[in-house]
Amino acid sequence: MSSIRSTGNGSPEEPYVLTVTSHKGGTGRTTLALALAWLWGQRGLKVTLMDADPVQAALLVACGPVGCRWPNVTTVAAPDGVGTIPANQDVVVIDSPPATEQLAQVGLRKSNGVVLCCLADSLSLGTLPAATQAVREAKISNPNLDLLGIAVSVFNPLDLDQTRCLSLLRGAHGGLFVEPPIPVRPELRDWPLTAGADLPDGPGRQALRALADVFRDQIADAGWPQFANVQRDKRAFATRG
């Protein structure tokens, strides 16, 4: 597992390219990609949100009648797969199809980092290795690809099956799991109802903000100065308690 992690060698002129993917559908990957784009845009980073899934669900959420109005966020539709990475951006967040798809491999080869989304259920236990394997394959052509971590989504802490699965997943994949899990929340579920809406406030946003800070720290530590300059959000520490 440690072979998946590597250190980057970022340059101030280049955007950090982050692929958000999963091993199967319904794991909250589009929600996470959208949230990271919105949160980092709020922090002043110049973000491109690239929708590389043929379904184009991310752009359905991010773009209102006159396009995306989120501060500092530009959107790019890439239904046929990731093309040219835009310049003059701090970060490109790619909403990617499942990592096992050929389309996802195209994006992974152009990415600096990848986040895997996962559910705390038994099917995830069985099928997650397919995604880590796909990341390993991408690293053969792209040795600098860094697995930032595995994020658990749609999590219900009152569900004993899920809490048990989460313990098993943490045990099986060690330090790869990032905290906190993203809770199942009605406001996150309803986010796509209003095209172009901001990330709704609530416990979901708090958890997503904490994750965004975890990833931001990792990217800064890997040598990307645009992330090191982002002001820390003190509230994120309070919610981790």
Partner 1 sequence: MRSLLVASQKGGVGKTTTAVNLAALAAVGGGRVLLLDADPLGSVLACFQLSRESVGSTATSPHSEPVTGVGRYWTNVIPGVDVISPYPEGDTGEQHLQAFLDALPRSVITSTYRLVVIDAPPMLGPRPKALLRAASDVIIVQRAEPMSLRTLPAYLNLLQAARAEGSVCRLLGILLTLPEGVMPGGPAEATLRSKVPGLLPQVIPHDPRVARAVVAASALVLHSPDSPAAVQYTSLAETLNLRMPISSLVSSEAQQTPKQRKGSANVVSTAAVTSQGVSGITKHQAAPTPRETDPEQFEPEGLNTHGSEVTVDAGDAASPWLVALTIVMVLIVAVLGTLVALGK
181 binds partner 1, rule: CB under 8 A: no
159 binds partner 1, rule: CB under 8 A: yes
Least separation in angstroms between residue 194's CB and partner 1 is 7
Residues 6 or more apart whose Cβ sits within 8 Å of residue 178:
115, 148, 149, 150, 151, 211, 214, 215
**Contact of 230 with 42, CB cutoff 8 Å:** no
Please state, as a whole number, how many other Cβ atoms lie within 10 Å of the Cβ of residue 153: 24
Gap between the Cα atoms of 77 and 53, Å rounded: 9
Gap between the Cα atoms of 120 and 189, Å rounded: 17
Least separation in angstroms between residue 107's CB and partner 1 is 14
Token duo for residue 240? 């981790």
103 binds partner 1, rule: CB under 8 A: yes
- What is the bridge-based pairing of β-strands 73-77 and 47-51? parallel
Least separation in angstroms between residue 54's CB and partner 1 is 4
126 binds partner 1, rule: CB under 8 A: yes
Q: Which of 57, 76, 168, 228 binds partner 1 (CB under 8 A)?
A: 57
Nearest residue (CB) to partner 1, 26 versus 71: 26
Token duo for residue 192? 């796509």
**Residue for token pair 């509230």:** 235
156 binds partner 1, rule: CB under 8 A: yes
107 binds partner 1, rule: CB under 8 A: no
The pattern of x and - marking residues 127 through 146 that bind partner 1 according to CB under 8 A reads: x--x----------------
83 binds partner 1, rule: CB under 8 A: no
Least separation in angstroms between residue 168's CB and partner 1 is 11
Nearest residue (CB) to partner 1, 114 versus 219: 114
Nearest residue (CB) to partner 1, 38 versus 227: 38
- Residues of this chain that bind partner 1 (CB under 8 A): 23-27, 30-31, 53-57, 60-61, 65, 79, 97-98, 100-103, 119, 121-123, 126-127, 130, 156, 159, 161, 184, 186, 189-195
